[in-house]
């Protein structure tokens, strides 16, 4: 009896510690941001969110994050397909490199982009000769977002490809279906939930990126100033309410995305 009682108390204490850790690390900071944004009332919050520079930075971030997400969906799906379906020399090394953006500090990623594509690099000079620039303009922001979000779609698609029954493909080929038709009608519906969830996570991650972007964006207000850098500037300008107001716009959008991902995954689990 004493053993059972101690076991229950231990289990209760363990669960309580986990809940407390979650509350202190996640819930309280989020509530603090919402409280800070509305600390001066609704009119200052609305003024902060509708400020032209703030609104332009949010719209620019969403637009460039969408571009990066679309590219990630296309390239990430192809990379996941190649890494699962083909065997070649160096495959394991490439597969391990997919997770490099997770381990590498994002500021280092931004520095690499700056060195490889900046004005003094061979690529940067070639781009200038063609009449456009990469670094300190929108293309650099998209590249930085692509770098930090690269693994999401790949890692979401790979398990579905591994679990897929190849007999369905073979049956489609036996019935005379082409490779393109087999992919569209057999393979694509299977990996679609992974593509969608990976794309949503990549989009949410791109919205919040700061370290890689701040080094290559140029941070020109109204042109290349994204939301995360704008928030940092408001904090540096001693305007925490304005920074918090823009923050909860991104935070709320991220919540909606994560909720959608959970819904998709739960439906896939019931299927």
User: Model confidence over 150-169: pLDDT tens digits?
Assistant: 999 999 999 988 888 777 77
Let me know: does 242 contact 39? Beta carbons within 8 Å.
Answer: no
User: Which among 82, 102, 64 is positioned nearest to 224, based on CA atoms?
Assistant: 64
**Which tokens hold the place of 159?**
């398990």
pTM, two decimal places: 0.84
200 burial level (CB within 10 Å; 0-12, 13-18, 19+): buried
User: Per-residue pLDDT tens for 13-51?
Assistant: 777 888 888 888 888 888 887 887 777 778 888 888 888
User: Per-residue pLDDT tens for 238-271?
Assistant: 888 888 888 888 888 888 887 877 777 676 656 5
Q: How many CB atoms lie within 10 A of CB 253?
A: 18
User: Which among 243, 247, 259, 205 is positioned nearest to 30, based on CA atoms?
Assistant: 247
**Tokens 């819904």 sit on residue:** 263
141 burial level (CB within 10 Å; 0-12, 13-18, 19+): buried
């Amino acid at each position: 009896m004493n053993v059972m009682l101690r076991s229950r108390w231990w289990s209760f204490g363990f669960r309580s510690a986990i809940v407390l850790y979650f509350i202190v690390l996640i819930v309280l900071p989020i509530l603090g941001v919402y409280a800070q944004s509305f600390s001066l009332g609704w009119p200052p919050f609305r003024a902060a969110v509708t400020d032209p520079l703030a609104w332009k930075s949010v719209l620019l971030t969403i637009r460039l994050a969408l571009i990066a997400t679309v590219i990630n969906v296309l390239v990430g799906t192809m990379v996941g397909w190649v890494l699962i379906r083909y065997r070649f020399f160096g495959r394991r090394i490439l597969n391990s490199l997919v997770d490099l953006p997770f381990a590498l500090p994002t500021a280092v990623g931004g520095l690499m982009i700056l060195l490889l594509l900046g004005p003094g690099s061979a690529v940067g000079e070639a781009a200038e000769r063609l009449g456009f620039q990469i670094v300190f303009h929108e293309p650099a922001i998209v590249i930085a977002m692509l770098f930090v979000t690269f693994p999401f779609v790949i890692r979401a698609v790979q398990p579905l490809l591994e679990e897929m029954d190849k007999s369905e493909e073979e049956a489609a080929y036996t019935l005379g279906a082409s490779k393109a038709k087999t992919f569209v009608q057999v393979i694509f519906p299977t990996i679609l939930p992974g593509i969608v969830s990976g794309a949503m996570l990549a989009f949410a991650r791109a919205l919040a990126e700061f370290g890689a972007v701040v080094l290559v964006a140029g941070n020109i207000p109204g042109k290349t100033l994204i939301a995360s850098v704008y928030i940092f500037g408001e904090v540096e300008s001693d305007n925490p309410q304005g920074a918090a107001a823009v923050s909860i716009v991104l935070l709320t959008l991220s919540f909606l995305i994560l909720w959608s991902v959970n819904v998709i995954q739960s439906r896939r689990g019931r299927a």
